[in-house]
């Protein structure tokens, strides 16, 4: 069994020495959302509808993998959420798997293994597929569902960056609205519950639900089988598999499709009701309300007449299904709305008549009223069980990362058969106000989770004023999600598998000036929240190899990458020259009492000035890059005992940690990643409640990382690490515009 292997122990991860592990991770990489060939970054309209695509070369070239993984490891990340899409595996057609892409991916994973990452695999999707404005599912799935992606633009069944008249003017975050438009609503409804809500949708003798789910699960299983057969990856570096990214219920549980659901928080641009979307999808003109997103949320701006000019979002009756090799049942008629065929509405008399506004509000078999919670506990869990069974049939001991719908109540699985002891709750969280406005507002923010859980009589009471209150609110929301998970899903680790900030704030002000102070504040606030959440780690969103200042992440105008080739890296001295006597520190067997500024339980451990028996290899300077001050932070990685709390004060450059040690174990210290950017050797002060410690350099495969090892006694233990020389004025200077040249491509 590999030394990288970890296991789930209750609500923690532990290593072979029974130390608690914190996963300090990042998503690699957003580039995997779109094909390599042809170049289908979302602002590129050329060959968009070309079905002959290839993802070989994504997320980056094999010859560049060392560079990217070395950079991320040098920045202290020990975990990767590895992004892949269903489309990458099965883009050529049902059951036609891209063996070349699988071989390429195995090669990339082998490079990652050299850098000792923990990796869990993420079958990524956003708003179903690229052709409906996101990424994930193969093109042929839309045709299998009877939809015609070439007519999505005029019918507004989906708003797609590639087909926007002027891609440079694509409204920020407009892509998210596709979740509440016809194409995405239809695909997710069919995927989860086609048998119940679209019984006429039969293809190759099975309902479209079974057809879609079976192909998705089988493709992922085949991918897992190929990785397993390759050897040396599953279990050694791949610790787990996540369920489908950001599942959405589609139409399931909407009580009245003629109105906007109360729980729909985002309205931007045109905002049709589900019924209006069906009308537009049938080629009929309709007047739709328009919305914008301001500092206090969405507000109506007027109306707009959308005229599809007779184009249908559905395939014509003449469409030839044989080109895909499937057979569509004659009872499923092409050339008309699938939902009209099921009696939801009717236009046969020249007028659009809504017949069953509550068609999706109840389970047709049981009559049980559906809401998002009901969807999660039934349709979502049914799929998750099948997916888990398929992956576990290949990788029997793998950890399953269960990701329920974002921001919704998690499943009530505690104490049931779904309360899997080898499961992790995967959660996403973004500061919505900052993400949608692309501005770090230091004056006010909103407790979104509190609003969604009915904590306030009015959203007005959810307002948080002042930056300190905003930071605490973010921390409280993440802590609430951790507690809610324990109450509803049981005792499992929780990982925030997506969290991040937009870098193109304030009309790309930082790119024009080099001033990243807003990004530093926002990133620091998010990490402050993570550190106080009592979660078991995170995977920051994200890392994009092909980022540039003009198009950001190359996908729908998003710009969340912590890396960009356009930001020139400025060398900053991170480590003292290791030929200095105090560059590494031996453990002390006794304490030297000194006055502590903050706690009587902490005592200073004075490092000896004698030479060390550890490596003397000179470390290369680390680099400051895109607000790296905020994400290059000390983190406990191995805790010999139970972690109680930890945090990093960026302004004071001070790290604190509290734990409860189970037993004295000199051979198994607690270990803290200690970035030399903040804590250069010779300028770092350590105070601990007892035991002995050392600062040492961990070397492996061209990477050198600074860690602090701490051998502590049994029971409560505290440690504080601080930069000796950083002052308030120095911190203020640190946040001034970087004196590096920025390029706008």
Residue among 215, 234, 338, 220 at smallest CA distance from 277: 338
Write out pLDDT tens, residues 582-618. Answer: 333 333 332 322 223 333 344 444 333 222 223 323 3
Supply the pTM of this predicted model.
Answer: 0.91
Domain boundary among 513, 540, 567: 540
Domain boundary among 496, 515, 540: 540
Q: Tell me whether strands 20-21 and 635-639 are parallel, antiparallel or unpaired.
A: antiparallel
First to last CA, the chain: 47
Q: What is the dihedral of CA 562, 568, 573, 575, to 10 degrees?
A: 50
Residues in the chain with pLDDT values less than 50? 1-3, 570-623, 733-745
Q: Which residue in 498, 531, 558, 694 is the catalytic one?
A: 498
> Which residue shows structure tokens 């787990």?
240
536 in the same domain as 667 = no
Is 655 a domain residue?
yes
Kindly report the CATH number assigned to the domain that includes residue 453: 3.20.20.80
> What was the pLDDT predicted at 88?
98
Is 551 a domain residue?
no
Whether 408 is catalytic? no
Kindly report the CATH number assigned to the domain that includes residue 667: 2.60.40
638 in the same domain as 525 = no
List of residues 6+ apart from 226 with CB closer than 8 A: 102, 106
526 in the same domain as 654 = no
Residue among 338, 374, 343 at smallest CA distance from 356: 343
Measured distance CA(274)–CA(253) in Å, rounded:
12
> What was the pLDDT predicted at 299?
83
Q: Which residue in 20, 90, 246, 671 is the catalytic one?
A: 246
Greatest Cα-to-Cα distance within the chain, rounded to the nearest angstrom: 93
Domain boundary among 518, 540, 562: 540
Is 78 a domain residue?
yes
In DSSP notation, 395-449 reads: STTPEEEE--STTSPPP--TTSTT--TTEEEEEE---HHHHHHTS--SSEEE-HH
Q: Tell me whether strands 79-84 and 23-28 are parallel, antiparallel or unpaired.
A: parallel
Both structure tokens of 158: 């989906």
639 in the same domain as 534 = no
Is 715 a domain residue?
yes
Q: Is 72 left (phi over 0), alpha (psi -120 to 50) or beta?
A: alpha
Give phi and psi for 23, each to the nearest 5.
Answer: -90, 115
Helix (H, G, I), strand (E, B) or coil at 458: coil
- The CA-based angle 427-431-437, given to 5 degrees, is 140
Is 638 a domain residue?
yes
638 in the same domain as 535 = no
Contact between 513 and 741 under an 8 Å Cβ cutoff? The reply is no
Both structure tokens of 740: 């590096």
Sign of CA dihedral 446, 448, 452, 454: negative
Is 649 a domain residue?
yes
> What was the pLDDT predicted at 262?
83
Contact between 120 and 27 under an 8 Å Cβ cutoff? The reply is no
Measured distance CA(669)–CA(710) in Å, rounded:
5
Whether 246 is catalytic? yes
Is 195 a domain residue?
yes
> Which residue shows structure tokens 């589609």?
250
**Residue 567: strand pairing partners:** 742
Task: Give residue 704's domain range.
Answer: 634-723
> What was the pLDDT predicted at 265?
74
Write out pLDDT tens, residues 392-409. Answer: 999 999 999 999 999 999
> What was the pLDDT predicted at 727?
52
Contact between 465 and 459 under an 8 Å Cβ cutoff? The reply is no
423 in the same domain as 298 = yes
642 in the same domain as 535 = no
Q: Where are the alpha helices (DSSP H) in 489-547?
A: 505-513, 517-531
Give phi and psi for 182, each to the nearest 5.
Answer: -55, -45
Burial 125-156 (b: 16+ CB within 10 A, else e): bbbbbbbbbbbbbbbbbbbbbbbbbebbbbbb
Both structure tokens of 335: 């050339």
Measured distance CA(468)–CA(649) in Å, rounded:
13
Give how many domains the chain has, as a whole number.
2
638 in the same domain as 531 = no
Is 735 a domain residue?
no
66 in the same domain as 206 = yes
Q: Tell me whether strands 118-123 and 238-242 are parallel, antiparallel or unpaired.
A: parallel
Measured distance CA(4)–CA(43) in Å, rounded:
40
Both structure tokens of 71: 């950079």
Long-range own/partner contacts, residues 682-686 (CB < 8 A, 24 or more apart): 682/576, 682/580, 682/582, 682/583, 683/576, 683/723, 683/724, 683/725, 684/721, 684/722, 684/723, 684/724, 685/604, 685/721, 685/722, 685/723, 685/724, 686/604, 686/605, 686/607, 686/719, 686/720, 686/721
Contact between 239 and 119 under an 8 Å Cβ cutoff? The reply is yes
């Amino acid at each position: 069994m590999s030394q990288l292997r970890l296991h789930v122990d209750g609500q923690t991860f532990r290593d072979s020495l029974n130390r608690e592990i914190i996963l300090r991770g990042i998503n690699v990489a957003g580039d995997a959302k779109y094909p390599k060939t042809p170049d289908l970054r979302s602002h590129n309209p050329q060959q968009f509808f070309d079905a002959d695509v290839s993802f070989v070369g994504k997320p980056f070239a094999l010859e560049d993998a060392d560079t990217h993984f070395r950079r991320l490891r040098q920045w202290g990340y020990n975990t990767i959420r590895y992004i892949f899409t269903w489309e990458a595996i099965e883009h050529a057609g049902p059951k036609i798997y891209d063996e070349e892409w699988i071989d390429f991916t195995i090669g990339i994973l082998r490079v990652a293994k050299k850098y000792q990452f923990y990796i869990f695999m993420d079958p990524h999707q956003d708003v179903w597929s690229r052709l409906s404005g996101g990424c994930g599912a193969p093109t042929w799935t839309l045709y299998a569902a009877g939809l015609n992606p070439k007519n999505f633009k005029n019918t507004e069944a989906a708003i797609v960056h590639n087909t926007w008249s002027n891609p440079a003017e694509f409204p920020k975050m407009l892509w998210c609205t596709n979740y509440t438009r016809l194409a995405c609503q239809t695909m997710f409804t069919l995927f989860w519950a086609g048998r119940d809500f679209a019984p006429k949708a039969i293809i190759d003798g099975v309902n479209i639900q079974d057809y879609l789910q079976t192909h998705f699960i089988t493709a992922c299983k085949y991918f897992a089988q190929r990785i397993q057969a390759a050897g040396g990856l599953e279990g050694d570096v791949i610790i787990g598999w996540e369920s489908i990214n950001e599942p959405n219920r589609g139409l399931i549980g909407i009580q009245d499709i003629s109105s906007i659901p109360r729980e729909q928080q985002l309205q931007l641009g045109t905002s049709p009701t589900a019924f209006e979307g069906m009308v537009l999808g049938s080629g009929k003109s309709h007047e739709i309300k328009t919305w914008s997103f301001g500092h206090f949320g969405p507000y109506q701006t007027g109306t707009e007449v959308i005229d599809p000019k007779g184009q249908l979002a559905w395939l014509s009756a003449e469409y030839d299904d044989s080109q895909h090799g499937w057979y569509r049942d004659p009872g499923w008629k092409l050339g008309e709305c699938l939902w009209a065929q099921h009696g939801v509405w009717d236009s046969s008399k020249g007028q659009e008549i809504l017949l069953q506004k509550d068609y999706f509000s109840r389970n047709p078999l049981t009559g049980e009223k559906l809401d998002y919670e009901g969807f999660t506990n039934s349709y979502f869990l049914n799929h998750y069980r099948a997916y888990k069974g398929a992956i576990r049939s290949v990788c029997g001991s793998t950890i399953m990362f269960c990701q329920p719908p974002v921001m919704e109540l998690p499943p009530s699985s505690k104490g049931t058969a779904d309360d899997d002891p080898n499961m992790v709750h995967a959660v996403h969280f973004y500061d919505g106000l900052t993400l949608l406005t692309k501005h770090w507002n230091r004056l006010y923010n909103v407790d979104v989770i509190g609003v969604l859980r009915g904590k306030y009589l009015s959203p007005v009471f959810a307002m948080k004023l002042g930056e300190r209150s905003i930071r605490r609110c973010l921390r409280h929301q993440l802590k609430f999600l951790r507690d809610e998970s324990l109450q509803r899903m049981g005792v499992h680790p929780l990982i925030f598998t997506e969290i991040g900030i937009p870098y193109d704030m304030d009309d790309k002000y930082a790119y024009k000036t080099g001033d990243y102070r807003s990004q530093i504040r926002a990133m620091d606030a998010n990490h402050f929240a993570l550190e106080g959440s009592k979660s078991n780690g995170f995977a920051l969103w994200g890392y994009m190899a092909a980022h540039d200042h003009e198009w950001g992440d190359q996908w729908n105008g998003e710009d969340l990458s912590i890396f960009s080739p356009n930001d020139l890296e400025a060398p900053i001295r991170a480590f003292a020259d290791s030929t200095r006597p105090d560059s590494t520190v031996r453990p002390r067997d006794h304490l030297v009492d000194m006055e502590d500024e903050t706690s009587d339980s902490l005592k200073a451990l004075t490092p000896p000035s004698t030479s060390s028996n550890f490596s003397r290899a000179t470390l290369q300077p680390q680099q400051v890059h895109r607000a790296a001050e905020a994400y290059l932070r000390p983190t406990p990685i191995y805790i010999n005992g139970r972690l109680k709390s930890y945090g990093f004060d960026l302004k004071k450059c001070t790290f604190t940690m509290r734990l409860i040690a189970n037993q004295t174990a000199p051979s198994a210290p607690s270990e803290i990643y200690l970035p030399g950017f903040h804590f250069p050797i010779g300028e770092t002060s350590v105070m601990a409640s007892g035991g002995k410690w050392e600062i040492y350099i961990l070397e492996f495969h061209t990477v050198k990382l600074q860690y602090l090892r701490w051998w502590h006694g049994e029971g409560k233990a505290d440690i504080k690490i601080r930069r000796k020389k950083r002052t308030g004025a120095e911190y203020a200077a640190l946040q001034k515009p970087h004196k590096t040249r920025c390029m706008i491509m």
